[in-house]
Chain A
Amino acid sequence: MGAGTVVIGTGQAGFQTAASLREQGYQEPITLIGEEPYIPYHRPPLSKGFQVGQQDFESIELRPGKFYQNHRIELVLAQRVAAIDRATKRVTLGSGAQIPYEKLVLAVGARNRVLPIRGAELDGVLSLRTLDEAVVLKERLANAREIVVIGGGFIGLEVASVACTMGKQVTVLEALPRLMSRAVAPVVSEFYEKLHTSKGVKVICGATVSEIAGASGCVQKVLLAGGAAFAADLVLVGIGVAPNVELAREAGLRVTNGIAVNEFLQTDDPDILAIGDCAEHPCVFAGARVRLESVQNAAEQAQCAAATIAGRRDPYRALPWFWTDQYDVKLQMAGISLGHDQIVMRGKPESLKFSVFYFRAGRLAAIDSINRPVDHMMGRRLIAAGIPVSLEEAADESVDLKLLAHRGAQHAVHPPA
């Protein structure tokens, strides 16, 4: 038996790689190495159900502990990987121990960006990515009264909605002119600003945070460059992530806006793959190389990586999708709206049920759906299969997207590979 596959990272991507390898009949050893001391778990609930006590650790485990024994997946937890030696095909752990590999999968994820300002280190200034951070946030939220969320992206707004629902006074400070601006169209940002405001959250866009001030090491207020100050006994910083590329870079692998991989998710070293939040890959649905941070991307790239390792050459071409839950509103996103040049709406924001259809060069590129799950699911089919949809059809509520998806299957034009 050979050295098998070593997977660095115990997030959804790392877990799924190991699980898919076994599903596909891979017999060699599999070692899953993670920095966190926990078996792999779902991260999305950490900013949602976990905070309100609907879910505990057991309910967010991706699989129970015995799954790993049953499938001969060796878990090496609470261990940092210090280096990759490509010449001898070994990884060196922080402890100095070495593990040989035949195939190596970098599912190393990303880390939260840190606010480069004074006061960011104060007690009560939190961020959220890991279970440990979620536990701290939950404990602190219970006793907090005034919460300032820095960053109006998915994580910040999900935490804002949870805190607001708990009856806390919440302020969201976003540096850009609108909420979730990296992901959605202005009409969706506007909808969410109104939603949060209607619940009592103070939303301030275009806000440049200059300092976090405190006393005796504890946070007291957040200051803006313009002089405004917001009292806070808890600050949640959610200003995006940076991919963990250092290990790959030090191993001499190419790094762009992430660890660079080809359509089979291999780095420049064909025995080393990179997947999930850390990997920049060619995406047919964006028509560009992108790095995506999502469950879908992690899980489906893992399946593709497992296929590559098993010797199948199936290029990665899964349709990206995302979601965020805030209050009782579900935003579902299908496709990549990057570079869109036309937008049409189906339904009206006032009805709390609408979708935004994004077109790029005359073709449907993405759909954001608010409380319109059929649009989202049929949208996935339409975009994934390259079924032609006109602007008029998208905007006309009497056009049944389900019929379009079925009918169009015959006329499908796949996106250029």
Chain B
Amino acid sequence: MPKVIYISAKGEAREIEVPVGTTVMAAALKNGIDGIVAECGGVCMCSTCHVFVDEKFFGMLPPAQDTEEAVLEIAAVERQPTSRLSCQIKVTDALDGLLVRLPEKQR
């Protein structure tokens, strides 16, 4: 099973095995990773599952749709070039080792 590594704003890393097809957001909630809120449940209406994707993996992700791009503009911590909404990132085998950093707040 591919692994996803979540790094908290304080720098603590947690490695989670995530079934293919599960989103980075859903896996975080299921495994009690604080720092992902997901208020809207994954429909691109809030920005509370914002993550910074490690540069090595960012280019491997399918590009963000317009709705996601728009939501990133209102993120509680200002977006960076590798910002994504974790509800829109589905884990694949190719993404094994995916590393995401969590912002210090989500709202």
Residues of A within 8 A of B (CB): 42, 44-45, 59-60, 63-64, 66-67, 70, 295-296, 299, 303, 321, 323, 325, 330, 332, 373-374, 376-378, 380-381, 402
A321 CB contacts on chain B under 8 angstroms? 45
Q: Contacts A59-B26, A60-B41, A323-B45 given: A373-B70 contact, CB under 8 Å? A: yes
Q: Cβ of B32 and Cβ of A67 under 8 Å apart?
A: yes
Interface residue from A44, A64, A373, A377 paired with B29 (Cβ < 8 Å): A64
In the complex, what distance in Å separates the CA atom of A299 from the CA atom of B66? 25
B74 CB contacts on chain A under 8 angstroms? 377, 380-381
Q: Cβ of A330 and Cβ of B67 under 8 Å apart?
A: yes
Mask, B44-85, CB within 8 Å of A = 1, is 111000000000000000000011011101100000000000
Interface residue from B30, B41, B66 paired with A373 (Cβ < 8 Å): B66
**Is the C-beta of B39 less than 8 angstroms from some C-beta in chain A?**
yes
In the complex, what distance in Å separates the CA atom of A57 from the CA atom of B26? 13
Q: Who on chain A is nearest to B73 by CB?
A: A377
**Is the C-beta of B40 less than 8 angstroms from some C-beta in chain A?**
yes
6 cross-chain pairs, A with B, having the tightest CB-CB distances, nearest first: A373-B70, A42-B41, A377-B70, A373-B67, A374-B70, A299-B39
B45 CB contacts on chain A under 8 angstroms? 295, 321, 323, 332
Interface residue from A70, A325, A378 paired with B43 (Cβ < 8 Å): A325
Q: Cβ of B70 and Cβ of A63 under 8 Å apart?
A: no
Q: Who on chain B is nearest to A378 by CB?
A: B73
Residues of B within 8 A of A (CB): 26, 29-30, 32, 39-41, 43-46, 66-67, 69-71, 73-74, 107
Q: Contacts A295-B39, A323-B45, A325-B43 given: A64-B30 contact, CB under 8 Å? A: yes
Chain A nearest CB from B107 CB (Å) reads 8
Among B30, B41, B73, chain A packs the most CB atoms within 10 A around the CB of B41
A42 CB contacts on chain B under 8 angstroms? 41
Q: Who on chain A is nearest to B23 by CB?
A: A59
Chain B nearest CB from A70 CB (Å) reads 6
Chain B nearest CB from A323 CB (Å) reads 5
B30 CB contacts on chain A under 8 angstroms? 64
Chain B nearest CB from A353 CB (Å) reads 10
Chain B nearest CB from A298 CB (Å) reads 9
28 of the cross-chain contacts (CB-CB < 8 Å) are: A42-B41, A44-B43, A45-B41, A63-B29, A64-B29, A64-B32, A66-B32, A67-B32, A295-B40, A296-B46, A303-B107, A321-B45, A323-B40, A323-B43, A323-B45, A325-B43, A332-B45, A373-B67, A373-B70, A373-B71, A374-B66, A374-B70, A374-B73, A377-B70, A377-B71, A377-B73, A378-B73, A380-B74
In the complex, what distance in Å separates the CA atom of A332 from the CA atom of B45? 8
Chain A nearest CB from B29 CB (Å) reads 6
A332 CB contacts on chain B under 8 angstroms? 45
Chain A nearest CB from B69 CB (Å) reads 8
Known: A44-B40, A295-B39, A373-B69; 4 extra A-B contacts, CB below 8 A, are A45-B41, A63-B29, A303-B107, A374-B70
Q: Who on chain A is nearest to B38 by CB?
A: A62
Interface residue from A66, A67, A373, A381 paired with B44 (Cβ < 8 Å): A373
In the complex, what distance in Å separates the CA atom of A199 from the CA atom of B47? 32
Q: Who on chain A is nearest to B39 by CB?
A: A299
Q: Who on chain A is nearest to B44 by CB?
A: A373
B66 CB contacts on chain A under 8 angstroms? 373-374
Q: Who on chain A is nearest to B29 by CB?
A: A63
In the complex, what distance in Å separates the CA atom of A380 from the CA atom of B74? 9
In the complex, what distance in Å separates the CA atom of A63 from the CA atom of B69? 26
B71 CB contacts on chain A under 8 angstroms? 373, 377
A70 CB contacts on chain B under 8 angstroms? 32
A44 CB contacts on chain B under 8 angstroms? 40-41, 43
B44 CB contacts on chain A under 8 angstroms? 373
Q: Who on chain A is nearest to B70 by CB?
A: A373
In the complex, what distance in Å separates the CA atom of A295 from the CA atom of B37? 13
In the complex, what distance in Å separates the CA atom of A377 from the CA atom of B73? 7
Interface residue from B26, B29, B32, B70 paired with A376 (Cβ < 8 Å): B70
In the complex, what distance in Å separates the CA atom of A171 from the CA atom of B45? 29
A60 CB contacts on chain B under 8 angstroms? 41
Chain B nearest CB from A293 CB (Å) reads 15
Q: Who on chain B is nearest to A41 by CB?
A: B41
Interface residue from A66, A67, A296, A402 paired with B73 (Cβ < 8 Å): A402
Chain A nearest CB from B46 CB (Å) reads 8
In the complex, what distance in Å separates the CA atom of A63 from the CA atom of B39? 11
In the complex, what distance in Å separates the CA atom of A59 from the CA atom of B30? 9
In the complex, what distance in Å separates the CA atom of A59 from the CA atom of B43? 13
In the complex, what distance in Å separates the CA atom of A63 from the CA atom of B37? 10
In the complex, what distance in Å separates the CA atom of A60 from the CA atom of B70? 24
In the complex, what distance in Å separates the CA atom of A296 from the CA atom of B37? 13
Chain A nearest CB from B55 CB (Å) reads 25
A296 CB contacts on chain B under 8 angstroms? 39, 46
